[in-house]
Amino acid sequence: MSRIGRRDSDISNFDAEDALSAAIGNLTIAIDEPHAQITHDPLPQICCSINRITQLFPNLVGNAIKYRSDAVPEIRITAEPITEGAAEGSTFFFTLPGGDRSL
């Protein structure tokens, strides 16, 4: 599980879909080779360290491709608000198939 906290100095508001699009663009070879299918629900505006989110999405997508079965990878990314008891300062979980969640 990866956590994106609010301790960094580069915290700002931005569109999580933009960060995901950039990650997918940087992983073109890794995505094309196994013919991975990547889809996502609408992702929210978030407030966090842009450095950390630009590390999170490539790690999530790259790991989903790397640690897969022999089947063609079908990766779906969703986001949902965190409920009570979640990590302080976090707002959303980004979820991949299998129930793995990253903050």
Q: Which domain holds residue 92?
A: 11-102
Secondary element (H or E) of residue 60: helix 50-66
Find the helix or strand (DSSP H, E) in which 29 lies.
helix 28-32
Mean per-residue pLDDT for 78-97?
Answer: 63
Q: Is 29 among the domain residues?
A: yes
> Is 5 part of any domain?
no
How much is the pLDDT for 41?
Answer: 92
Residue 76 lies in a domain: yes
In a domain, 2, yes or no: no
Helix 16-26, helix 50-66: angle, nearest 10: 50
Q: List pLDDT tens digits, range 13-58.
A: 889 999 999 989 999 999 999 999 999 999 988 888 888 888 888 9
The pLDDT value recorded for residue 47 is 84
Residue 1 lies in a domain: no
Residue with the bigger pLDDT between 93 and 78: it is: 78
C-alpha to C-alpha distances, 102 to 32, 60, 68, 70, 72, nearest whole angstrom = 24, 8, 18, 24, 23
54 inside domain: yes
43 within a domain of the structure (yes/no): yes
Q: Is the pLDDT of residue 8 over 50?
A: yes
- Output the domain CATH number for residue 93: 3.30.565.10
Report how many domains make up the chain: 1
Q: How confident is the model at residue 2 (pLDDT cuts 50, 70, 90)?
A: very low
Question: Looking at the predicted structure, is the pLDDT value of residue 7 above 70?
Answer: no
CB 8 within 8 A of CB 49: yes
84: DSSP letter: T
In the block, tokens 């663009």 appear at: 25
The tokens describing 90, both together, are: 């976090």
Tokens of 13: 């508001």
Residue 4 lies in a domain: no
